[in-house]
């Protein structure tokens, strides 16, 4: 079956509109964008703001679970719940640790409590300890 040029152009236009999230005549709404971390929640990195030292000291420690620990490289992959203070949803993510020696007592599977801080475009774990 061969498509004529007019039908082919219309199909291409529809595909472009769908890819750009634009509406097509007769469609009620644009196509939804789905976030992979939490359905219906789009993560906005620009909204995550750095905190000053007073805010950091007042911030409670965050509960998490160590999934991977790179003692030599000073990195850890943490699973944690939502962190409202930096508008970050629950996720599992890798972080650099400011002082790698804090990882000495942490093993994969360990429950931990930690603090983090935004430095440039990255979040750095500034304090981490085993949960009691």
Residue 130: strand pairing partners: 112
Note whether residue 85 is domain-resident. yes
Using CA atoms, how far apart are residues 132 and 105, in angstroms rounded to an integer? Answer: 13
Note whether residue 89 is domain-resident. yes
The CATH number of the domain holding residue 77 is 2.40.50.320
Residues 52-101 have pLDDT tens digits of 555 555 567 999 999 999 999 999 999 999 888 778 899 999 999 999 99
- Which range of residues forms the domain containing residue 56? 47-130
Of residues 89 and 21, the one with the higher pLDDT is: 89
Note whether residue 117 is domain-resident. yes
Note whether residue 71 is domain-resident. yes
Note whether residue 20 is domain-resident. no
Neighbour-count burial for 15-29, b at 16+ CB within 10 Å, e otherwise? eebeeeeeeeeeeee
Note whether residue 112 is domain-resident. yes
Range with the poorest average pLDDT among 5-14, 41-50, 66-75: 41-50
Q: What is the count of structural domains for the chain? A: 1
Task: Quote the tokens at residue 110.
Answer: 């360990």
Is the pTM for the entire model greater than 0.75? no
């Amino acid at each position: 079956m061969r498509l004529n040029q007019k039908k082919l152009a219309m199909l291409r236009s529809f595909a472009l509109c769908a890819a750009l999230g634009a509406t097509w005549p007769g469609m009620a709404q644009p196509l939804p964008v789905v976030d992979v971390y939490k359905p219906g929640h789009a993560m906005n990195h620009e909204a995550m703001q750095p905190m000053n030292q007073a805010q950091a000291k007042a911030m409670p420690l965050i509960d998490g679970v160590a999934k991977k620990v790179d003692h030599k490289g000073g990195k850890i992959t943490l699973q944690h719940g939502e962190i409202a203070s930096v508008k970050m949803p629950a996720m599992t993510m890798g972080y650099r640790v400011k002082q790698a020696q804090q990882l000495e007592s942490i093993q994969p599977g360990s429950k931990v409590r930690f603090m983090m801080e935004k430095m440039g475009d990255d979040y750095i774990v500034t304090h981490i300890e085993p949960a009691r």
